Amino acid sequence: MKVKLWQLILAFVVWVGLMFLPATVNQDKVARTFDFSKSRANYFYFLGTQEQVTSVILVLLFIIIIIGILRKWQSTKYFSLSFMVVYGYGMFLNVVLSRIPEGVPLKFALSLEMFEGLWRIFGLGFFLTSLVGIVFAILLFVYVLKFKKDMV
């Protein structure tokens, strides 16, 4: 699979654009309104208040990857892999799995009721942004791998 630069840039622009959709529940608004639909906040709120450390790590990794591509560092592929793993686990799996109560049977954890509860908390914006972000991270990793092969 060959990833072109325009595909990577398009995935990044779509990912950032989707971050403006309502992606999580603002806990302060929920305390005032008691309504999930009126207390939505975008993904930037989620990054800034609920996942600060992971967000800073992702931004630093992304900057290192861009600098590594421009300077043709050999270690850029490892930073790209780290970006993909940190985003996939830290920003999606960990967040979703932490909302499932401990000690529940797998049958209940994978049930429709649990999915509806997660959907009510996060909404379409979170799942779309996470999916496109994971696709972007995979495309970035493949691009860096192919870029390094072309460079040698």
Q: Over 64-114, what HEC string results?
A: HHHHHHHHCCCCHHHHHHHHHHHHHHHHHHHHHHHCCCCCCCHHHHCCHHH
Please tell me the predicted confidence (pLDDT) of residue 104: 76
Yes or no: say if 143 and 40 are a contact pair by the CB < 8 Å rule: no
Please tell me the predicted confidence (pLDDT) of residue 64: 95
Please tell me the predicted confidence (pLDDT) of residue 66: 93
State the DSSP H helix or E strand holding residue 125, giving kind and residue range, or none if neither. Answer: helix 112-151
Q: If you search the block for the tokens 């950032």, which residue do you land on?
A: 16
Q: Provide the residue-wise pLDDT of the chain in tens; the chain has 152 residues.
A: 788 889 999 999 999 888 887 766 555 665 665 665 666 677 777 777 777 888 899 999 999 999 999 998 888 999 999 999 998 988 888 877 777 777 778 777 778 888 887 777 777 778 888 899 999 999 999 999 987 666 55
Sketch the domain layout of the chain as residue ranges.
Answer: 5-151
